[in-house]
Chain A
Amino acid sequence: MSEAGTASGGAVSAASSSRRGHLDGIGPPLLILVVVLIAWEAAVRLMDVPPWLLPAPSKVALRFVRTQDLLYHTGLTLLEAGAGFAIAAVLGVALSAGIANSRFLERGLFPYVIVSNAVPIIAIVPLLNIWLGFGITTKIVIAAIITFFPIVTNTTRGLKSADERILDLMHSINATGAQVFFKVQLPSALPFIFAGFRIAASLSLVGAVVAEFYGADRGLGYLVITAATQLKTDLLFVAIIALAAIGVTTFWLFGFLERRALHGQAETDRRR
């Protein structure tokens, strides 16, 4: 259909061409997915691949439907990642405000921010298990630690990207620190902050799952580990698909929020 539209030439209305553009967006990847799934299903059946090695898509789909507590595990991992992310976002933006406005804080704190990124997160999980136990707290803290770095570096860079001359202008009319921050620095930083948030969102999921590997009786990370040790490969696929779904959804959600926030900024100013 898309081919026909192109071939018929220029007489395409704006509305129909934008609709075609939308189909162009999801059409090709959907088509490829269907082809891959059919080939996969056929290959597994024709070559009689054992299900522990590679389960057929139909088998995975069946397991997907039959895993009753999938939503529970997914929700829990999402909660851990989300809470960790939220903590890191609040603390990270606050810390960045300090770093961007104080030479002392920048010099004093930045090395530790870098250290927090340099230590492999996996090495910290056992320590936190000793301190905080095997409950949800450890997972949240790990998710927060792993997301902290991209949030702080991006936000700091964004806050410092504010136009020097406008800062001069603000100082020449005695703007308060809060006025400079909220009217100039923070809006200048928004695109950077959202870039950081997007990276952090997927990392928070990594943090939560890794923490679950080390001792948990629930969550998608737990599901992955048990499925693997019991060679329930179809369940393993189910858990991976759930994780991928969360990842894609959050990525999309942040893109949406970013557009709303950056657009909304302009809108409020227009209305005021």
Chain B
Amino acid sequence: MQTAAAARATVPPCISLRGVSVAFEARGRRVQALSDATLDITEGEFVALLGPTGCGKSTLLRVISDLLRPTDGVLLVRGQPAADARRRNDFGFVFQEAALLPWRTALANIRLPLEVVGYDDAKRNDRCGELLASMGLANFGNSFPSELSGGMKQRVAIARALSWNPSILLMDEPFSALDEITKNQLQDELLRIWEREQKTIVFVTHNISEAVYLADRVVVMSAHPGRIHQVIDVALPRRRGPEIRDTIEFIEQVRLVRAALLQS
């Protein structure tokens, strides 16, 4: 099997950051949210951004998706400015809380981006129905968010982010508010989606084992100022399932990442 590092060398990066910094003024003080971040993310790669609060994880996501302009440095998505990728609707977002519109049904929430990106009118509802079914919510299309559990809401949010088939998924602590059982289920579902649809995923988390379980690489960040401390290749085979959680290899990887986090 080809090593991840060798693969990265031959394929041009999907997302490329060179010395990216973000600073802003808060109450007259200059706050460095992100300092000199350099990172290449390969096409189809699953990267976890791991770190304590205030390390600039979410800022990094907002920069990549062109919601926030870096104050310094260069950010390219497939060799072009991030704004171009945004205009092509390359980015799908999933947030910590599902952030669904309460007055829309599950189906209509998934449809929202399709209405915006100009998806074929006739096919919208079919597409949303398919996604609902694939997330195991076939019978909940007409339910309102208030009628759904936390895990179901997050499933709807993921379906919404997948609806127009963006090539890059940006996920900001999507499972951190869920209970352990639901969280593990959704992690496995996400891995299946990623394997099936070959998307590039940037996944923000502050949960070490979650980062190790999901990602090809874990980007360990540190706070004040937010910066990239270390990038760790996860030496675990793919097609991961719940059984690897108790293997020596998995625990060893978690230990490695934890050590890096402690140093940061």
**Which positions in A face B, CB cutoff 8 Å?**
163, 165-166, 168-175, 179, 183-184, 187-188, 262, 265-266, 269-270, 272
Contacts and interface: CB of A to CB of B under 8 A. Distances in A.
B164 interface: yes
Interface string B78-119: 000000001101010101010101011100100111011100
Contacts of A179: 115-116
A183 B116 CA distance: 9
A174 B85 CA distance: 11
A262 B103 contact: yes
26 contacts: A163-B101, A165-B95, A165-B97, A165-B99, A166-B99, A168-B93, A170-B116, A172-B65, A172-B66, A172-B67, A172-B86, A173-B89, A173-B113, A173-B117, A174-B86, A174-B89, A174-B116, A175-B116, A183-B112, A183-B115, A262-B103, A265-B103, A266-B144, A269-B103, A269-B105, A272-B108
A187 B99 contact: no
Given A265-B103, A266-B144, A169 B93 contact: yes
A270 B140 CA distance: 12
B99 A163 contact: yes
Nearest to B99: A165
Nearest to B144: A266
Contact of A174 (B87, B95, B104, B111): B87
Contacts of B53: none
Instruction: Point out which of B101, B108, B125 has the most chain A C-beta atoms below 10 A from its C-beta.
Output: B101
A171 B67 contact: yes
Nearest to B103: A265
Contacts of A173: 86, 89, 91, 113, 116-117, 164
B142 interface: yes
Contacts of A163: 99, 101
Contacts of A262: 103
Contacts of A170: 116
Given A174-B87, A179-B116, A262-B103, 17 more contacts: A163-B101, A165-B93, A165-B97, A168-B67, A168-B93, A170-B116, A171-B67, A172-B86, A173-B86, A173-B113, A173-B164, A174-B116, A183-B115, A184-B101, A266-B144, A269-B105, A270-B108
Q: Which of B66, B86, B87, B104 has the most CB of A within 10 A?
A: B104
Interface string B109-153: 001110111000000010000000000000000101000000000
Nearest to A162: B101
Contacts of B104: 266, 269
Contacts of A266: 103-105, 144
A172 B97 CA distance: 17
Nearest to A174: B87
A190 to B, nearest CB: 8
A110 to B, nearest CB: 22
Given A179-B116, A183-B115, A172 B103 contact: no
Given A187-B101, A270-B142, A172 B91 contact: yes
Given A174-B86, A174-B116, A169 B101 contact: no
Contacts of A166: 99, 101
A140 to B, nearest CB: 34
A175 B87 CA distance: 10
A270 B93 contact: no
A262 B103 CA distance: 8
B184 to A, nearest CB: 24
B46 to A, nearest CB: 20
B49 to A, nearest CB: 17
Contacts of B115: 179, 183
Contacts of B87: 174
Most B CB atoms within 10 A — which of A163, A172, A174? A172
The CB with the most chain B CB atoms within 10 A, among A163, A187, A265, A269, is that of A269
Contacts of B93: 165, 168-169, 172
B201 to A, nearest CB: 15
